[in-house]
Structure 1
Amino acid sequence: MPRRTQAEMEVIRTAIIEAVRKDKPMTVRQVFYRLVVRGVVPKVEGRGYRTVARELRNMRRDGVIPYDWIVDSSRTVRRPLQYGSMEEALERAARLYRRNLWGDLPHYVQVWMEKEALAGVAWDVTDGLGVSLWVARGYSSISYLYEAAQHINRALEAGKVAYIYNLGDHDPSGCDAWESVVSELQGFSIDDRRMRFKRAAVTPEQIRRLNLPSRPTKKTDSRAAGFEGESVELDALPPNTLRQIIRDTIEAHIPEYIRTMHEQVEQQERQTLWQLQDYL
């Protein structure tokens, strides 16, 4: 395969800047798929993806793209929470104060995401709407599933209906992994009649409507029997489209008047926390 010319590399770099500026923050894989859709790099996993990853690294080091425009949620840092003073602790408490939006609503919502690398793209939406984001990382451990089920059971005990949504690859493994999550959560449930499971993305309808780039389904996958068509990764969804899907899915459970009233009360209570600093 011949090396790309200087002009060809400049086209790739320009396309990267345009894609990331529009949809930031993004993962490296999401940027790769944006360029595939535009025909800038080949869909071939090796050459196309490696080129995008290399250029993103170089462009960030050169200051062309800010580091925080590209996210990687597959690695975490565990840091102790400490304060320099009581005033600082109260200031943080006031700034981060969140009133439970779902306390009086009849539904409980969980969002499950197959890939940890995309959690940073989704978290701003789920966090802003007070919904937990569970990252399956393929097939989840029984301990992780049990923990999720306990949150669901507490909601069921309170008389709520639980809605559990999935964001995953449209491929044999992704579909099978979601079916495994459904089966395990139902097994741990105190009343699975009040549990609703739905795949929010990627769906065949989204693939057709958005003309998402696909890849050949691995016929060697033991789960491929009965799976029709090519496979599409969750990363193929444009980041802003993915965020909007998550937002629309969650907001369908929140009446507008409830949300408006909640925001007003939350602001008043946050102001009370700010005022407490005057007594220190």
Structure 2
Amino acid sequence: MILIEAARRILQEIQPCSIRAVCYRLFTQKMIPDMGKKSTGAVGTQLVFARETGLIPWAWIVDETRAAETVASWDNPEQIIETAVAQYRKDYWAMQPRRVEVWSEKGTIRGTVAPILKKYGVTFRVLHGYGSATSIHGIAQETQASEKPMIVYYIGDHDPSGRHMSEVDLPERLHRYGGSASIVRLALDDGDVGADSELPWFPVGDKVNDTRYQWFIKRFGQRCWEVDALPPPVLRARLDSAIATVLDLDAWQHAIKIETAETDSMKNIMGYFKASISRLDPKYSEGQA
């Protein structure tokens, strides 16, 4: 229970986040001996118990498990209209001078930055390591088809592959396929790593079998960091600030006003629809009583 109470205090501060992010905080507090699979697995088991017994809310911990895919269906026409009204959101980016996306090598980051992605309606891509040729070629084609320049905020580990992806692989392949994007490494960035970093690190020797091992040592030295070590609130605040900085705020606010007016119009149409259906089918009206 001591570990669960410590994890609960951490989650109250940094949720939503991954189990690994909790483990990093527990490690820095010396609640677990290391970040090895045995230690992190034990934490994961304890956090499953804590959520199943109601000690910790399920929503506080996120992972990359995808929701079940189902075919959308409704009990009646009113439901689909209500859903459309509730989910309608103006494409604020249509009025912006540039496009913004967030990319990561890790799917677990999606849940951590979800509040910011939702706030700005930003596209998020999980590359799962080195993105496939098909996916990168598709992105290149998208940039070709758009007149707006694309800014990509990249989130990944500071290790041989993580650095090589954002520094070399992605820019080179986008260029090779005729695409273009400004890739900005949001985290981990140079300010997060280094001799004076307070984040837990591990020796690059742990990655000796990575083909980018020597490339990394020549440029960055002997230490590696996982992006999960960065406190989630810091990552969310950094992403929020980065996106806000590139916005045309006047155009953004104008889009919000248009969205409000359009939503009100949709609600009026829904009222007319209900009245029309009630006249055609009295049983429908009785069923809603």
TM-score of the superposed pair, with normalisation by structure 2:
0.85
**Partners of 2:127 and 2:116 in 1: how far apart?**
18
Pick aligned residue for 1:238 from 231, 239, 256: 231
Residue 141 of structure 2 corresponds to residue 164 of structure 1: no
Provide the residue aligned with 1:24 in structure 2.
15
Q: In the alignment, what sits opposite 2:268?
A: 275
Question: CA separation in 2, counterparts of 1:44 and 1:116?
Answer: 19
The C-alpha deviation readout for 1:183-206, integer Å capped at 9, x for no partner, is 22222235x4xx322111101212
SS in 2 for 1:48: helix
Q: Deviations over 1:168-222 (max 9, x none)?
A: 00000111223322222222235x4xx3221111012123576211112123322
1:120-151: CA deviations, max 9, x gaps? 22233123212210100001111111222232
| Residues 194-213 of structure 1 mapped to structure 2, 5 A cutoff | 195-207=181-193, 211-213=198-200
Q: 1:203 to 1:38 in 2, by over 3 A?
A: same
CA contact (8 A) 2:96 2:252 kept: no
Distance in 2, matches of 1:80 and 1:278, equals: 27
Which runs of 5 or more structure 2 residues have no equivalent in the other structure?
274-289
Correspondences of 1:1-150 after superposition (within 5 Å)? 10-150=1-141
Structure 1 CA distance for aligned equivalents of residues 118 and 35 of structure 2: 35
Q: Is the 8 A contact 2:151 2:183 kept in 1?
A: yes
CA distance in 2, matches of 1:189, 1:89: 41
Sequence identity, in percent? 27
- Is the CA contact (8 Å cut-off) linking 2:95 and 2:251 kept in structure 1? no
2:180 is the counterpart of 1:180? no
Larger radius of gyration: 2
Give how far 1:154 is off: 2.3
Deviations 1:73-108 (A, max 9, x none): 144421211222221111111111111111122111
Q: Give the conservation status (yes or no) of the 8 Å contact 1:27–1:117.
A: yes
**Aligned equivalents of 1:48, 1:200: Cα separation in 2:** 29
Question: 3-state SS of the aligned residue for 1:109?
Answer: strand
Question: Is contact 1:172–1:223 with CA below 8 Å preserved after alignment?
Answer: yes
Q: For 1:255 and 1:38, how far apart are their aligned partners in 2?
A: 42
Deviation at 1:46, TM superposition (A): 2.9
**Structure 1: how far apart are the matches of 2:111 and 2:140?**
23
Task: Say if 1:32 and 1:247 are closer, same or farther in 2 by CA, change over 3 A.
Answer: same
- Aligned: 1:214 with 2:201: yes
Measured at CA, do residues 246 and 52 of structure 1 come closer, stay the same or move farther in structure 2, by a change above 3 Å? same
Return the alpha-carbon distance in structure 1 between the equivalents of residues 160 and 173 of structure 2. Answer: 18
Structure 1 contact 126–246 (Cα < 8 Å) conserved: no
Other structure's SS at 1:138 match: coil
Paired residue for 2:244? 251
Deviations 1:246-279 (A, max 9, x none): 2112111113333222222211111111111112
